[in-house]
Amino acid sequence: MRNIKQLLGARIRELRKKNNLTQEKLAELVGIGTPNISYIETGRFEPSMDTLEKISDVLGVYPYELYMFEHLKTKEDMQEEIINAIKTNDHILELIYKFYQSIK
């Protein structure tokens, strides 16, 4: 399962590419080194709040939108989340079972 730094990095990469920016150009506009952008995008570094604010400004999104990464979850992440929910919540198990019965 990817951690939050990796998901944040993937989201920043996604938005950077959507804005047709290279890592070099984003780094220049944010005022940090290109390796730092690479480290942020791979989840090696966690950006400061100031850097996050600058990144969101350059990418044209609100800072909270950098954390909208549900769509970036892998199949394995989704399976793990569902399995954990089933194990800890009988109501979810019942709902999933009813749904399964209706589509099989």
Per-residue pLDDT of 49-70, as tens digits, reads: 999 999 999 999 999 999 998 7
Is 58 in the same domain as 91? Answer: no
Instruction: Please check whether residues 89 and 68 belong to one and the same domain.
Output: no
Q: In this predicted structure, which of 6-10, 27-31, 70-74 has the lowest mean pLDDT?
A: 70-74
Mean pLDDT, residues 85-99 taken together: 90
Rounded mean pLDDT, 5-30: 96
Judgement on whether residues 22 and 63 belong to the same structural domain of the protein: yes
Distance CA 24, CA 32 (A): 9
Tokens for 11?
Answer: 């989201």
Number of Cα atoms under 13 Å in the Cβ half of residue 76? 2
What is the number of other CB atoms lying within 10 angstroms of the CB of residue 8? 22
Q: 64 and 44 in one domain? A: yes
What is the tens place of the pLDDT at every residue in 36-46?
999 999 999 99
State the DSSP code for 62.
-
Same domain assignment for residues 49 and 68: yes
CA angle 59, 62, 63 (to 5 degrees): 90
pLDDT of the residue at 69 = 84
* pLDDT of 3: 87
Give the domain range for residue 39.
4-72
**pTM value?**
0.70
